[in-house]
Amino acid sequence: AEVIIVPSAEAAGSLVADEIVSLIAAQPNAVLGLATGSTPLPVYRALSERRDEMDLSKVSGFALDEYVGLPASHPESYRSVITREVVEPLGLNPEFVHVPNGALESISHAGDDYEAAIADAGGIDLQILGIGTDGHIGFNEPGSSFASRTRVKTLTEQTRRDNARFFDSEDDVPMHCITQGLGTIQRARHIVLLAFGAGKARAVAGAVEGPLTASLPGSSLQLHVRATVIVDEAAAAELR
């Protein structure tokens, strides 16, 4: 991967926003892969400040993941988060922005449905990624197959603890999620992984320089022909 060290998360946000602005200028029907969590927020903020420079009417988006069994209307469902942080501030067409369906009734086919929707859209042009402290990307926790497609996974204790800040307590964090697989992510034409802060340094080093291993799902990016890793100094601290 190409590694870019930036002074701040804000600097990373404007760098990625530049990339997206030029992508959309070249390709008005671009398909964006959208991460949730704290990391991509500076990108979405920078993009919303530049929304007058772009025609976003044909842009579509695919979220990485969703909690299983949390109503879509729950404020912390990734459907709600994507609506609040991306669709509304950017003025995207909500019909073009997809989130895996975490409803229990349709969970048996939700993964295949999502893969089909991505294929119908022509595949993801630019995938924004964060990384978990345990090296997960999307919700592909350690042990995930490099070939995996969108499917249901169990969240690790570590991830539920990390995400407890969005809920009243750790017990309220769902146990299961539906996530794009490592194989799904691998097929995006350009991957941009962002990480900020010392808590991510080990995961970043493992993803960029460590052995290819399912124990650190982010290491699968080493197989990608066009992966860009944008980190601040603290998250870069364990790179050689």
* 134: contact with ligand F6R by CB under 6 A: no
* 31: contact with ligand F6R by CB under 6 A: no
Residue nearest to ligand F6R (CB): 130
Q: Rounded to an integer, what distance in angstroms lies between the CA atom of residue 163 and that of residue 181?
A: 20
Q: Rounded to an integer, what distance in angstroms lies between the CA atom of residue 43 and that of residue 39?
A: 8
Which among 134, 162, 224, 232 is annotated as catalytic?
Answer: 134
Catalytic residue check, 65: yes
* 100: contact with ligand F6R by CB under 6 A: no
Q: Rounded to an integer, what distance in angstroms lies between the CA atom of residue 33 and that of residue 125?
A: 8
Q: Rounded to an integer, what distance in angstroms lies between the CA atom of residue 55 and that of residue 182?
A: 31
Q: Choose the stretch contacting ligand F6R; rule: CB under 6 A; options: 3-11, 22-30, 94-102, 127-135.
A: 127-135
Which among 141, 162, 224, 232 is annotated as catalytic?
Answer: 141
* Residue of 99, 67, 100, 95 lying closest to 82 (CA atoms): 99
* 68: contact with ligand F6R by CB under 6 A: no
* 37: contact with ligand F6R by CB under 6 A: yes
Q: How far is the CB of 68 from ligand F6R (least distance, A)?
A: 14
DSSP string, 64-95: SEEESSS-TTSTTSHHHHHIIIIIHHHT--GG
* 232: contact with ligand F6R by CB under 6 A: no
* 64: contact with ligand F6R by CB under 6 A: yes
- Residue pair 196/230 in contact by the 8 Å Cβ criterion: no
Give 55 or 157: the residue with its C-beta nearer to ligand F6R: 157
* 13: contact with ligand F6R by CB under 6 A: no
Which class for 103: exposed (0-12), middle (13-18), buried (19 or more C-beta within 10 A)? middle
Residue of the chain from 137, 173, 216, 229 that contacts ligand F6R (CB under 6 A): 137
Catalytic center residues: 65, 134, 136, 141
